[in-house]
Structure 1
Amino acid sequence: MDCFRETQRKSPAYRTPYGGKAATGKPVVTITLMVICGAFFVVQFLYPPFTRALWYAPVYTGIEPWRMLTSAFLHSPGGILHIAFNLYALWFLGQGLEPQLGRLRFALLYLISALGGSVGVLLLNPIVQPVVGASGAIFGLFGALLVVLLQRRASVRSVLILLAVNFALGFFVPNIAWQAHLGGLLTGVACAAVLVFAPRGKNRSLVQFAGLAAIVVFLCVFSAVLAAAKGLL
Protein backbone atom coordinates (compact mmCIF):
# COMPACT_ATOMS: atom_id res chain seq x y z
CA MET A 1 0.00 0.00 0.00
CA ASP A 2 2.83 2.41 0.86
CA CYS A 3 4.53 1.57 -2.44
CA PHE A 4 1.30 2.37 -4.29
CA ARG A 5 1.00 5.76 -2.55
CA GLU A 6 4.62 6.57 -3.35
CA THR A 7 4.06 5.71 -7.02
CA GLN A 8 0.97 7.92 -7.08
CA ARG A 9 2.90 10.78 -5.51
CA LYS A 10 5.70 10.58 -8.06
CA SER A 11 3.42 10.17 -11.10
CA PRO A 12 2.85 13.37 -13.09
CA ALA A 13 -0.63 14.80 -12.63
CA TYR A 14 -2.81 14.87 -15.71
CA ARG A 15 -3.16 18.40 -17.05
CA THR A 16 -5.80 20.24 -19.03
CA PRO A 17 -4.86 21.72 -22.41
CA TYR A 18 -3.93 24.96 -20.65
CA GLY A 19 -1.97 23.61 -17.74
CA GLY A 20 -4.62 23.14 -15.07
CA LYS A 21 -5.01 20.01 -13.02
CA ALA A 22 -7.44 17.75 -14.86
CA ALA A 23 -10.53 16.64 -12.96
CA THR A 24 -13.26 14.25 -13.96
CA GLY A 25 -16.93 14.59 -13.21
CA LYS A 26 -19.14 17.64 -12.98
CA PRO A 27 -17.83 21.24 -13.26
CA VAL A 28 -17.57 21.80 -9.52
CA VAL A 29 -16.59 25.48 -9.61
CA THR A 30 -19.38 26.34 -12.05
CA ILE A 31 -21.97 24.58 -9.91
CA THR A 32 -20.61 26.20 -6.74
CA LEU A 33 -20.85 29.68 -8.27
CA MET A 34 -24.41 28.94 -9.35
CA VAL A 35 -25.35 27.75 -5.88
CA ILE A 36 -23.85 30.86 -4.26
CA CYS A 37 -25.76 33.15 -6.64
CA GLY A 38 -28.96 31.18 -6.01
CA ALA A 39 -28.51 31.27 -2.25
CA PHE A 40 -27.82 35.01 -2.29
CA PHE A 41 -30.96 35.54 -4.37
CA VAL A 42 -33.08 33.69 -1.81
CA VAL A 43 -31.59 35.76 1.01
CA GLN A 44 -32.21 38.95 -0.98
CA PHE A 45 -35.85 37.97 -1.42
CA LEU A 46 -36.35 37.06 2.24
CA TYR A 47 -34.25 39.89 3.70
CA PRO A 48 -34.16 42.94 1.36
CA PRO A 49 -31.47 44.87 3.34
CA PHE A 50 -29.00 42.14 2.33
CA THR A 51 -28.92 43.62 -1.18
CA ARG A 52 -27.96 47.08 0.03
CA ALA A 53 -25.25 45.59 2.23
CA LEU A 54 -23.42 44.05 -0.73
CA TRP A 55 -24.37 46.00 -3.87
CA TYR A 56 -21.89 48.18 -5.74
CA ALA A 57 -22.66 51.89 -5.64
CA PRO A 58 -19.43 53.90 -5.28
CA VAL A 59 -21.16 57.28 -5.12
CA TYR A 60 -23.22 56.15 -2.14
CA THR A 61 -20.81 53.81 -0.39
CA GLY A 62 -17.34 55.09 -1.24
CA ILE A 63 -14.88 52.71 -2.82
CA GLU A 64 -15.39 49.82 -0.32
CA PRO A 65 -13.49 47.44 -2.61
CA TRP A 66 -15.12 44.20 -1.42
CA ARG A 67 -18.36 45.36 -3.04
CA MET A 68 -16.66 45.10 -6.43
CA LEU A 69 -16.84 41.31 -5.97
CA THR A 70 -19.84 40.78 -3.68
CA SER A 71 -22.14 42.63 -6.09
CA ALA A 72 -21.35 40.01 -8.74
CA PHE A 73 -23.20 37.39 -6.67
CA LEU A 74 -26.34 39.50 -6.27
CA HIS A 75 -29.23 39.86 -8.72
CA SER A 76 -32.28 42.01 -9.02
CA PRO A 77 -34.68 40.68 -6.37
CA GLY A 78 -37.66 42.09 -8.26
CA GLY A 79 -37.75 39.39 -10.93
CA ILE A 80 -36.51 35.94 -11.87
CA LEU A 81 -35.34 36.67 -15.43
CA HIS A 82 -32.11 38.41 -14.41
CA ILE A 83 -30.73 35.56 -12.34
CA ALA A 84 -32.22 32.89 -14.62
CA PHE A 85 -30.38 34.23 -17.67
CA ASN A 86 -27.09 34.61 -15.82
CA LEU A 87 -27.25 31.14 -14.29
CA TYR A 88 -28.03 29.62 -17.68
CA ALA A 89 -25.13 31.51 -19.28
CA LEU A 90 -22.81 30.49 -16.44
CA TRP A 91 -23.73 26.83 -16.88
CA PHE A 92 -23.43 27.01 -20.66
CA LEU A 93 -19.99 28.63 -20.55
CA GLY A 94 -18.68 26.96 -17.42
CA GLN A 95 -19.21 23.36 -18.45
CA GLY A 96 -17.05 24.02 -21.50
CA LEU A 97 -14.37 26.32 -20.08
CA GLU A 98 -13.82 24.78 -16.65
CA PRO A 99 -12.58 21.39 -17.95
CA GLN A 100 -10.31 23.17 -20.42
CA LEU A 101 -8.72 25.58 -17.95
CA GLY A 102 -8.91 23.59 -14.74
CA ARG A 103 -10.88 24.49 -11.64
CA LEU A 104 -8.47 27.00 -10.08
CA ARG A 105 -7.81 28.88 -13.30
CA PHE A 106 -11.50 28.98 -14.14
CA ALA A 107 -12.38 30.31 -10.69
CA LEU A 108 -9.74 33.03 -10.99
CA LEU A 109 -10.97 33.95 -14.46
CA TYR A 110 -14.50 34.37 -13.13
CA LEU A 111 -13.54 36.44 -10.08
CA ILE A 112 -11.09 38.69 -11.91
CA SER A 113 -13.65 39.28 -14.67
CA ALA A 114 -16.20 40.24 -12.01
CA LEU A 115 -13.66 42.74 -10.64
CA GLY A 116 -13.07 44.06 -14.15
CA GLY A 117 -16.82 44.54 -14.60
CA SER A 118 -16.95 46.70 -11.48
CA VAL A 119 -13.98 48.72 -12.68
CA GLY A 120 -15.88 49.33 -15.91
CA VAL A 121 -18.80 50.67 -13.87
CA LEU A 122 -16.49 52.91 -11.84
CA LEU A 123 -14.91 54.28 -15.02
CA LEU A 124 -17.90 54.70 -17.32
CA ASN A 125 -21.09 54.87 -15.29
CA PRO A 126 -22.11 58.48 -14.58
CA ILE A 127 -25.33 57.35 -12.89
CA VAL A 128 -25.53 56.85 -9.14
CA GLN A 129 -27.79 53.81 -9.48
CA PRO A 130 -26.44 50.78 -7.56
CA VAL A 131 -25.23 47.84 -9.63
CA VAL A 132 -25.77 44.11 -9.02
CA GLY A 133 -25.38 41.01 -11.14
CA ALA A 134 -22.96 38.42 -12.45
CA SER A 135 -23.08 39.86 -15.97
CA GLY A 136 -19.57 41.32 -15.84
CA ALA A 137 -18.12 37.93 -14.93
CA ILE A 138 -20.33 36.21 -17.53
CA PHE A 139 -19.04 38.51 -20.25
CA GLY A 140 -15.54 37.70 -19.04
CA LEU A 141 -16.30 34.03 -19.71
CA PHE A 142 -17.59 34.94 -23.17
CA GLY A 143 -14.32 36.77 -23.82
CA ALA A 144 -12.33 33.77 -22.61
CA LEU A 145 -14.28 31.44 -24.89
CA LEU A 146 -13.52 33.74 -27.79
CA VAL A 147 -9.79 33.61 -27.03
CA VAL A 148 -9.81 29.82 -26.72
CA LEU A 149 -11.57 29.45 -30.06
CA LEU A 150 -9.17 31.85 -31.75
CA GLN A 151 -6.19 29.99 -30.31
CA ARG A 152 -7.57 26.75 -31.74
CA ARG A 153 -8.39 28.47 -35.04
CA ALA A 154 -12.02 27.48 -34.68
CA SER A 155 -15.02 29.45 -35.90
CA VAL A 156 -15.96 32.35 -33.60
CA ARG A 157 -19.00 33.49 -35.56
CA SER A 158 -21.63 32.16 -33.15
CA VAL A 159 -19.81 33.60 -30.13
CA LEU A 160 -19.50 37.01 -31.78
CA ILE A 161 -23.22 36.99 -32.59
CA LEU A 162 -24.11 36.09 -28.99
CA LEU A 163 -21.78 38.80 -27.70
CA ALA A 164 -23.18 41.42 -30.05
CA VAL A 165 -26.80 40.63 -29.18
CA ASN A 166 -26.23 40.55 -25.43
CA PHE A 167 -24.05 43.65 -25.43
CA ALA A 168 -26.65 45.55 -27.47
CA LEU A 169 -29.31 44.72 -24.89
CA GLY A 170 -27.47 46.95 -22.44
CA PHE A 171 -28.34 49.97 -24.58
CA PHE A 172 -31.98 49.13 -25.24
CA VAL A 173 -33.18 47.43 -22.06
CA PRO A 174 -33.45 49.59 -18.93
CA ASN A 175 -31.39 48.84 -15.80
CA ILE A 176 -28.65 46.85 -17.58
CA ALA A 177 -25.12 48.06 -16.88
CA TRP A 178 -23.34 47.80 -20.24
CA GLN A 179 -20.31 49.28 -18.51
CA ALA A 180 -19.95 46.12 -16.42
CA HIS A 181 -20.35 44.02 -19.56
CA LEU A 182 -17.55 45.89 -21.32
CA GLY A 183 -15.23 45.83 -18.31
CA GLY A 184 -15.81 42.14 -17.73
CA LEU A 185 -15.36 41.28 -21.40
CA LEU A 186 -12.03 43.08 -21.74
CA THR A 187 -10.78 41.61 -18.47
CA GLY A 188 -11.84 38.11 -19.47
CA VAL A 189 -10.02 38.45 -22.79
CA ALA A 190 -6.86 39.61 -20.99
CA CYS A 191 -7.01 36.78 -18.44
CA ALA A 192 -7.68 34.15 -21.08
CA ALA A 193 -4.81 35.43 -23.22
CA VAL A 194 -2.48 34.96 -20.25
CA LEU A 195 -3.76 31.44 -19.60
CA VAL A 196 -3.99 30.26 -23.19
CA PHE A 197 -0.83 31.73 -24.69
CA ALA A 198 1.56 31.15 -21.78
CA PRO A 199 4.50 29.12 -23.16
CA ARG A 200 4.46 25.41 -22.38
CA GLY A 201 7.07 24.12 -19.99
CA LYS A 202 7.84 23.81 -16.31
CA ASN A 203 7.33 27.54 -15.75
CA ARG A 204 3.94 27.67 -17.44
CA SER A 205 1.93 27.91 -14.22
CA LEU A 206 4.28 30.56 -12.85
CA VAL A 207 3.81 32.68 -15.96
CA GLN A 208 0.04 32.23 -15.86
CA PHE A 209 -0.43 33.13 -12.21
CA ALA A 210 2.04 36.02 -12.43
CA GLY A 211 0.10 37.34 -15.42
CA LEU A 212 -3.23 37.07 -13.60
CA ALA A 213 -1.72 38.77 -10.56
CA ALA A 214 -0.47 41.60 -12.78
CA ILE A 215 -4.00 42.09 -14.14
CA VAL A 216 -5.41 42.24 -10.61
CA VAL A 217 -2.77 44.76 -9.54
CA PHE A 218 -3.54 46.90 -12.57
CA LEU A 219 -7.29 46.82 -11.87
CA CYS A 220 -6.75 47.71 -8.21
CA VAL A 221 -4.36 50.58 -8.95
CA PHE A 222 -6.58 51.87 -11.74
CA SER A 223 -9.60 51.73 -9.41
CA ALA A 224 -7.73 53.66 -6.73
CA VAL A 225 -6.74 56.35 -9.25
CA LEU A 226 -10.31 56.61 -10.52
CA ALA A 227 -11.74 56.73 -7.00
CA ALA A 228 -9.31 59.49 -6.05
CA ALA A 229 -10.18 61.45 -9.19
CA LYS A 230 -13.90 61.13 -8.41
CA GLY A 231 -13.41 62.16 -4.80
CA LEU A 232 -14.40 58.78 -3.38
CA LEU A 233 -11.27 58.27 -1.28
Structure 2
Amino acid sequence: MSDNGTGGQPPTGDGNTGPGVPAPAPSVCPRHPDRESYVRCQRCGRPACPECQRPAPVGIQCVDCVREAARTTPGTTTVFGGRVTDGRPVVTYAIIAVCAVVYLLQRVDPGITDRFAFLPALGWTEPWRFVTAAFLHSPFTFFHILLNMFALWSLGQYLEPMLGRARFAALYLISGIGGQVAVTLLAGSPTIDGLNAGIDQSWLTSVVGASGAIFGLFGALLVLNRHLGRSSSAMYVTIAINAVFGFLYPGISWQAHLGGFVTGLACAGVIVALRSRQVRHLVWAALGGVLVLLVVITVGKYLTLPDAVRLISSRDFS
Protein backbone atom coordinates (compact mmCIF):
# COMPACT_ATOMS: atom_id res chain seq x y z
CA MET A 1 0.00 0.00 0.00
CA SER A 2 1.45 3.33 -0.94
CA ASP A 3 1.92 6.16 1.60
CA ASN A 4 0.84 9.68 0.56
CA GLY A 5 2.81 11.40 3.31
CA THR A 6 -0.09 11.86 5.70
CA GLY A 7 0.40 8.77 7.76
CA GLY A 8 -2.44 7.02 6.02
CA GLN A 9 -4.90 9.71 7.12
CA PRO A 10 -7.15 11.48 4.64
CA PRO A 11 -6.57 15.18 3.94
CA THR A 12 -8.05 17.42 6.62
CA GLY A 13 -9.29 19.99 4.12
CA ASP A 14 -8.26 22.98 6.24
CA GLY A 15 -6.99 26.11 4.49
CA ASN A 16 -8.70 28.33 1.92
CA THR A 17 -8.50 26.05 -1.08
CA GLY A 18 -8.94 22.41 -1.86
CA PRO A 19 -11.77 19.99 -2.51
CA GLY A 20 -14.81 20.39 -0.31
CA VAL A 21 -13.95 23.93 0.83
CA PRO A 22 -16.52 26.55 -0.30
CA ALA A 23 -15.39 29.86 -1.73
CA PRO A 24 -15.59 32.83 0.63
CA ALA A 25 -19.10 34.27 0.75
CA PRO A 26 -19.56 37.80 -0.59
CA SER A 27 -20.11 40.61 1.91
CA VAL A 28 -23.80 41.16 2.47
CA CYS A 29 -25.79 43.81 4.30
CA PRO A 30 -26.83 42.55 7.78
CA ARG A 31 -30.25 44.17 7.41
CA HIS A 32 -30.73 42.89 3.84
CA PRO A 33 -28.87 39.54 3.50
CA ASP A 34 -29.99 39.18 -0.11
CA ARG A 35 -27.90 42.21 -1.16
CA GLU A 36 -24.15 42.22 -1.71
CA SER A 37 -22.51 45.27 -0.16
CA TYR A 38 -19.15 46.74 -1.06
CA VAL A 39 -19.28 49.77 1.27
CA ARG A 40 -18.63 49.40 5.00
CA CYS A 41 -19.82 51.57 7.85
CA GLN A 42 -17.07 53.86 9.12
CA ARG A 43 -18.21 53.26 12.68
CA CYS A 44 -18.87 49.52 13.05
CA GLY A 45 -17.18 48.18 9.90
CA ARG A 46 -20.16 46.12 8.78
CA PRO A 47 -21.26 46.09 5.13
CA ALA A 48 -24.12 48.48 4.28
CA CYS A 49 -26.25 48.37 1.14
CA PRO A 50 -27.29 51.67 -0.50
CA GLU A 51 -30.61 51.70 1.36
CA CYS A 52 -28.83 51.42 4.72
CA GLN A 53 -26.07 53.95 4.02
CA ARG A 54 -26.26 57.34 5.70
CA PRO A 55 -23.92 60.26 4.93
CA ALA A 56 -21.60 61.12 7.83
CA PRO A 57 -19.08 63.95 8.29
CA VAL A 58 -16.45 61.41 7.20
CA GLY A 59 -17.51 58.55 4.93
CA ILE A 60 -20.69 56.52 5.34
CA GLN A 61 -22.38 55.06 8.42
CA CYS A 62 -25.02 52.35 8.55
CA VAL A 63 -28.53 53.13 9.66
CA ASP A 64 -28.10 51.15 12.90
CA CYS A 65 -25.09 53.20 13.97
CA VAL A 66 -26.86 56.45 13.13
CA ARG A 67 -29.87 55.36 15.20
CA GLU A 68 -27.67 54.31 18.11
CA ALA A 69 -25.78 57.60 18.02
CA ALA A 70 -29.05 59.54 18.05
CA ARG A 71 -30.28 57.49 21.03
CA THR A 72 -27.16 57.65 23.16
CA THR A 73 -25.99 61.20 22.40
CA PRO A 74 -28.68 63.75 23.27
CA GLY A 75 -28.47 66.96 21.31
CA THR A 76 -26.24 65.51 18.57
CA THR A 77 -26.52 67.46 15.33
CA THR A 78 -25.71 66.72 11.73
CA VAL A 79 -22.76 68.27 9.95
CA PHE A 80 -25.07 71.17 8.95
CA GLY A 81 -26.60 71.67 12.40
CA GLY A 82 -29.84 69.72 12.04
CA ARG A 83 -31.08 67.28 14.65
CA VAL A 84 -29.73 63.77 14.10
CA THR A 85 -32.46 61.19 13.48
CA ASP A 86 -32.51 57.44 12.96
CA GLY A 87 -31.91 58.02 9.25
CA ARG A 88 -35.44 57.37 8.06
CA PRO A 89 -36.59 60.17 5.70
CA VAL A 90 -39.91 60.68 7.47
CA VAL A 91 -40.59 64.11 5.96
CA THR A 92 -39.91 62.76 2.46
CA TYR A 93 -42.35 59.91 2.97
CA ALA A 94 -44.92 62.31 4.40
CA ILE A 95 -44.70 64.65 1.40
CA ILE A 96 -45.02 61.69 -0.98
CA ALA A 97 -48.06 60.44 0.96
CA VAL A 98 -49.72 63.88 0.90
CA CYS A 99 -49.09 64.25 -2.85
CA ALA A 100 -50.48 60.78 -3.51
CA VAL A 101 -53.65 61.37 -1.48
CA VAL A 102 -54.19 64.79 -3.05
CA TYR A 103 -53.69 63.29 -6.52
CA LEU A 104 -56.40 60.69 -5.86
CA LEU A 105 -58.71 63.45 -4.66
CA GLN A 106 -57.96 65.42 -7.83
CA ARG A 107 -58.99 62.41 -9.90
CA VAL A 108 -62.26 62.16 -7.96
CA ASP A 109 -63.01 65.89 -7.84
CA PRO A 110 -61.43 67.94 -10.66
CA GLY A 111 -62.50 71.11 -8.86
CA ILE A 112 -59.69 70.61 -6.35
CA THR A 113 -57.13 71.37 -9.03
CA ASP A 114 -58.93 74.59 -9.95
CA ARG A 115 -59.17 75.71 -6.32
CA PHE A 116 -55.55 75.10 -5.32
CA ALA A 117 -53.41 75.29 -8.50
CA PHE A 118 -51.22 78.35 -8.89
CA LEU A 119 -51.73 80.93 -11.59
CA PRO A 120 -50.26 84.43 -11.46
CA ALA A 121 -53.65 86.05 -11.94
CA LEU A 122 -54.82 84.76 -8.54
CA GLY A 123 -51.57 85.11 -6.61
CA TRP A 124 -52.53 88.42 -5.00
CA THR A 125 -56.08 87.59 -3.92
CA GLU A 126 -55.44 83.90 -3.11
CA PRO A 127 -51.80 83.73 -1.95
CA TRP A 128 -52.12 80.22 -0.44
CA ARG A 129 -51.81 78.90 -3.97
CA PHE A 130 -48.06 79.64 -3.81
CA VAL A 131 -47.85 76.72 -1.35
CA THR A 132 -50.67 74.36 -2.33
CA ALA A 133 -49.55 74.03 -5.96
CA ALA A 134 -46.41 72.17 -4.81
CA PHE A 135 -48.62 69.29 -3.61
CA LEU A 136 -50.80 69.03 -6.74
CA HIS A 137 -50.09 67.22 -10.01
CA SER A 138 -51.74 66.94 -13.38
CA PRO A 139 -54.82 64.73 -12.91
CA PHE A 140 -54.75 63.69 -16.57
CA THR A 141 -51.63 61.50 -16.41
CA PHE A 142 -49.80 59.25 -13.96
CA PHE A 143 -46.42 60.13 -15.47
CA HIS A 144 -46.23 63.56 -13.86
CA ILE A 145 -46.66 62.46 -10.25
CA LEU A 146 -44.63 59.25 -10.65
CA LEU A 147 -41.63 61.11 -12.07
CA ASN A 148 -41.74 63.77 -9.38
CA MET A 149 -42.23 61.34 -6.50
CA PHE A 150 -39.36 59.14 -7.68
CA ALA A 151 -37.08 62.19 -7.82
CA LEU A 152 -38.27 63.29 -4.37
CA TRP A 153 -37.67 59.83 -2.90
CA SER A 154 -34.17 59.66 -4.41
CA LEU A 155 -33.16 63.10 -3.17
CA GLY A 156 -34.95 62.93 0.16
CA GLN A 157 -33.31 59.80 1.48
CA TYR A 158 -29.93 61.48 0.95
CA LEU A 159 -30.66 65.08 1.92
CA GLU A 160 -33.06 64.67 4.82
CA PRO A 161 -30.67 62.74 7.13
CA MET A 162 -27.93 65.20 6.19
CA LEU A 163 -29.93 68.34 6.96
CA GLY A 164 -32.33 67.12 9.60
CA ARG A 165 -36.08 66.85 9.15
CA ALA A 166 -37.02 70.45 9.96
CA ARG A 167 -34.42 72.00 7.66
CA PHE A 168 -35.33 69.60 4.86
CA ALA A 169 -39.03 70.47 5.18
CA ALA A 170 -38.20 74.18 5.10
CA LEU A 171 -36.00 73.68 2.03
CA TYR A 172 -38.83 71.91 0.20
CA LEU A 173 -41.50 74.48 1.07
CA ILE A 174 -39.39 77.58 0.41
CA SER A 175 -38.14 76.14 -2.90
CA GLY A 176 -41.71 75.35 -3.94
CA ILE A 177 -42.73 78.92 -3.21
CA GLY A 178 -39.69 80.17 -5.08
CA GLY A 179 -40.85 78.24 -8.14
CA GLN A 180 -44.22 80.02 -8.14
CA VAL A 181 -42.52 83.38 -7.60
CA ALA A 182 -40.44 82.82 -10.74
CA VAL A 183 -43.60 81.92 -12.68
CA THR A 184 -45.08 85.24 -11.57
CA LEU A 185 -42.01 87.30 -12.40
CA LEU A 186 -41.61 85.75 -15.85
CA ALA A 187 -45.27 85.99 -16.79
CA GLY A 188 -44.83 89.52 -18.12
CA SER A 189 -46.75 92.67 -17.21
CA PRO A 190 -50.31 92.04 -18.33
CA THR A 191 -53.05 94.57 -18.90
CA ILE A 192 -56.79 94.08 -19.03
CA ASP A 193 -56.77 94.79 -22.76
CA GLY A 194 -53.99 92.25 -23.23
CA LEU A 195 -55.87 89.60 -21.24
CA ASN A 196 -59.08 90.22 -23.19
CA ALA A 197 -57.17 90.01 -26.47
CA GLY A 198 -55.48 86.73 -25.49
CA ILE A 199 -52.01 88.28 -25.53
CA ASP A 200 -51.05 87.78 -21.88
CA GLN A 201 -52.19 84.19 -21.52
CA SER A 202 -49.21 83.19 -19.35
CA TRP A 203 -50.83 85.27 -16.60
CA LEU A 204 -53.86 82.98 -16.76
CA THR A 205 -52.01 79.66 -17.11
CA SER A 206 -52.20 77.38 -14.07
CA VAL A 207 -49.15 75.58 -12.68
CA VAL A 208 -49.14 72.43 -10.54
CA GLY A 209 -46.51 69.99 -9.39
CA ALA A 210 -43.63 69.43 -7.00
CA SER A 211 -41.08 70.13 -9.73
CA GLY A 212 -40.12 73.57 -8.46
CA ALA A 213 -39.47 72.23 -4.96
CA ILE A 214 -37.60 69.22 -6.35
CA PHE A 215 -35.34 71.47 -8.43
CA GLY A 216 -34.68 73.31 -5.19
CA LEU A 217 -33.47 70.01 -3.73
CA PHE A 218 -31.26 69.56 -6.80
CA GLY A 219 -29.71 72.99 -6.24
CA ALA A 220 -29.20 72.36 -2.53
CA LEU A 221 -27.54 69.01 -3.22
CA LEU A 222 -24.96 70.63 -5.48
CA VAL A 223 -24.06 73.21 -2.83
CA LEU A 224 -23.91 70.73 0.06
CA ASN A 225 -21.90 68.15 -1.88
CA ARG A 226 -19.42 70.81 -2.93
CA HIS A 227 -18.96 71.82 0.70
CA LEU A 228 -18.41 68.18 1.71
CA GLY A 229 -15.99 67.58 -1.16
CA ARG A 230 -18.25 65.00 -2.81
CA SER A 231 -18.74 64.66 -6.54
CA SER A 232 -22.03 65.72 -8.13
CA SER A 233 -21.10 64.88 -11.71
CA ALA A 234 -23.97 62.43 -12.15
CA MET A 235 -26.39 65.02 -10.79
CA TYR A 236 -25.42 67.53 -13.48
CA VAL A 237 -26.66 65.10 -16.13
CA THR A 238 -29.93 64.51 -14.25
CA ILE A 239 -30.56 68.22 -13.84
CA ALA A 240 -29.78 68.88 -17.51
CA ILE A 241 -32.19 66.17 -18.68
CA ASN A 242 -35.00 67.49 -16.47
CA ALA A 243 -34.30 71.05 -17.58
CA VAL A 244 -34.48 70.09 -21.26
CA PHE A 245 -37.87 68.43 -20.67
CA GLY A 246 -39.17 71.79 -19.49
CA PHE A 247 -38.37 73.37 -22.85
CA LEU A 248 -39.21 70.51 -25.22
CA TYR A 249 -42.52 69.30 -23.82
CA PRO A 250 -45.56 71.59 -23.71
CA GLY A 251 -47.28 72.07 -20.38
CA ILE A 252 -44.10 71.88 -18.28
CA SER A 253 -43.20 75.08 -16.44
CA TRP A 254 -39.49 75.70 -16.89
CA GLN A 255 -40.02 78.95 -15.00
CA ALA A 256 -40.96 77.01 -11.84
CA HIS A 257 -37.93 74.75 -12.33
CA LEU A 258 -35.63 77.76 -12.58
CA GLY A 259 -37.15 79.54 -9.60
CA GLY A 260 -37.02 76.46 -7.40
CA PHE A 261 -33.42 75.74 -8.38
CA VAL A 262 -32.22 79.26 -7.59
CA THR A 263 -34.12 79.28 -4.30
CA GLY A 264 -32.62 75.91 -3.34
CA LEU A 265 -29.15 77.27 -4.04
CA ALA A 266 -29.87 80.25 -1.80
CA CYS A 267 -31.25 78.15 1.07
CA ALA A 268 -28.33 75.72 0.93
CA GLY A 269 -25.89 78.62 0.79
CA VAL A 270 -27.40 79.99 3.99
CA ILE A 271 -27.19 76.59 5.71
CA VAL A 272 -23.54 76.16 4.73
CA ALA A 273 -22.59 79.72 5.70
CA LEU A 274 -24.09 79.25 9.17
CA ARG A 275 -22.90 75.69 9.75
CA SER A 276 -20.45 76.46 12.55
CA ARG A 277 -21.65 75.88 16.10
CA GLN A 278 -21.21 79.53 17.05
CA VAL A 279 -23.71 80.89 14.50
CA ARG A 280 -25.89 77.94 13.48
CA HIS A 281 -28.70 79.21 15.73
CA LEU A 282 -29.15 81.98 13.15
CA VAL A 283 -29.98 79.60 10.31
CA TRP A 284 -33.73 79.78 10.86
CA ALA A 285 -33.69 83.55 10.80
CA ALA A 286 -31.66 83.41 7.59
CA LEU A 287 -34.05 80.93 5.96
CA GLY A 288 -36.88 83.18 7.05
CA GLY A 289 -35.01 86.02 5.38
CA VAL A 290 -34.98 84.08 2.10
CA LEU A 291 -38.73 83.60 2.39
CA VAL A 292 -39.29 87.27 3.23
CA LEU A 293 -37.21 88.26 0.20
CA LEU A 294 -39.43 86.11 -2.02
CA VAL A 295 -42.50 87.76 -0.56
CA VAL A 296 -41.09 91.26 -1.06
CA ILE A 297 -40.15 90.51 -4.67
CA THR A 298 -43.63 89.12 -5.35
CA VAL A 299 -45.46 92.02 -3.70
CA GLY A 300 -43.31 94.44 -5.68
CA LYS A 301 -44.26 92.68 -8.89
CA TYR A 302 -47.98 92.84 -8.17
CA LEU A 303 -47.84 96.49 -7.13
CA THR A 304 -46.53 97.40 -10.59
CA LEU A 305 -49.73 96.07 -12.18
CA PRO A 306 -53.04 97.88 -12.67
CA ASP A 307 -55.55 97.32 -9.87
CA ALA A 308 -57.93 95.59 -12.25
CA VAL A 309 -55.27 92.95 -13.03
CA ARG A 310 -53.93 92.58 -9.51
CA LEU A 311 -57.37 92.12 -7.93
CA ILE A 312 -58.61 89.35 -10.21
CA SER A 313 -60.23 86.59 -8.14
CA SER A 314 -61.72 83.16 -8.71
CA ARG A 315 -65.17 84.73 -9.11
CA ASP A 316 -63.94 86.39 -12.30
CA PHE A 317 -63.40 82.94 -13.84
CA SER A 318 -66.92 81.75 -13.05
TM exceeding 0.5: yes
CA contact (8 A) 2:212 2:261 kept: yes
Aligned mates of 2:114, 2:138 — CA distance in 1: 11
Residue by residue, what CA displacement relative to the aligned partner does 1:151-180 show, whole Å, maximum 9, x if unpaired? 122222111111111111111001000000
- Return the offset for 1:138: 0.3
Query: 1:165: which partner in 2?
Result: 241
Residue 181 of structure 1: aligned partner: 257
Q: 2:289 maps to which residue?
A: 214
- The residue aligned with 1:7 is none
Distance 1:13 1:161 in 2: 38
SS of the equivalent of 2:139 reads: coil
Secondary structure of the 2:297 match is helix
Residues in 1 aligned to 2:299 and 2:225: alpha-carbon distance in whole angstroms: 34
* Conserved? CA contact 1:119–1:219, under 8 Å: yes
Note closer, same or farther for the CA distance 1:63–1:187 as it changes in structure 2 (3 Å cut). farther
Q: What is residue 8 of structure 1 aligned with on the other side?
A: none
After superposition, the Cα gap between the structure-2 partners of 1:224 and 1:98, relative to the gap in structure 1 and judged at 3 Å, is: same
1:142 aligns with 2:218: yes
Q: Which amino acid aligns with 2:134?
A: A
8 A Cα contact 1:63 1:227, kept in partner: no
- What is the aligned-residue RMSD (CA, Å)? 1.6
The answer to whether the Cα contact below 8 Å between 2:123 and 2:129 also exists between their aligned partners in 1 is no
> Normalization by structure 1: what TM-score?
0.91
Rounded Cα–Cα distance in structure 2 between residues aligned with 1:89 and 1:46: 25
2:93 to 31, 47, 52: 31
1:227 to 285, 296, 302: 302
1:155 corresponds to which letter in structure 2?
Answer: S
Q: Residue in 2 aligned with 1:5?
A: none
Larger radius of gyration: 2
SS in 2 for 1:65: coil
Q: Is the 8 A contact 2:79 2:275 kept in 1?
A: no
Q: Going by fraction, where is helix more abundant, 1 or 2?
A: 1
Letter of the structure 2 residue corresponding to residue 117 of structure 1: G
- Whether 2:205 is the aligned partner of 1:129: answer yes
**Structure 1 outlier segments of 4+, above 6 Å:** none
Higher relative contact order (CA 8 A, sep 6+): 1
For 1:182-201, what per-residue CA distance to the aligned partner results, in whole angstroms no more than 9, with x for missing partners?
Answer: 00000000001111231412
Q: What is the distance in 1 between the residues matched to 2:300 and 2:80?
A: 33
Paired with 1:27 and 1:199, the residues of 2 have a C-alpha distance of: 21
Q: In the TM superposition, what is the alpha-carbon distance from 1:61 to its structure 2 partner? A: 6.0
CA deviations on 1:94-115 (whole Å, 9 max, x unpaired) are: 0000000000000000000001
Is 2:230 the partner of 1:154? Answer: yes
* Structure 1 Cα separation of the partners of residues 255 and 120 of structure 2: 14
**For the residues of structure 2 that align with 1:199 and 1:100, how far apart are their CA atoms?**
12
Counterpart position of 2:102:
40
Summarize deviations over 1:52-95 as a string: whole Å, max 9, x none. 11010122564421100101100000000000000000000000
What is aligned with 1:6? Answer: none
The answer for the alignment partner of 1:109 in structure 2 is: 171
Does the CA contact (< 8 Å) of 1:58 and 1:64 recur in 2? no
Would the aligned equivalents of 2:120 and 2:187 in 1 still touch at CA under 8 Å? no
Q: One-letter code of the match for 1:178?
A: W
Cα separation, 2, equivalents of 1:159 and 1:138 = 13
Unaligned stretches of 5+ residues in structure 2:
1-72, 189-201, 312-318
2:124 and 2:236 map into 1 onto residues whose CA distance is 36
Trace 1:39-58 onto structure 2 (pairs within 5 A): 39-58=101-120
What is the rounded CA distance, in whole Å, between the counterparts of 2:224 and 2:87 in structure 1? 22
Following the alignment from structure 1 to structure 2, what is the Cα–Cα distance between the partners of residues 155 and 203?
27
The code of the aligned residue for 1:74 comes to L
Q: Deviations over 1:201-231 (max 9, x none)?
A: 2431x22111101101100010001112233
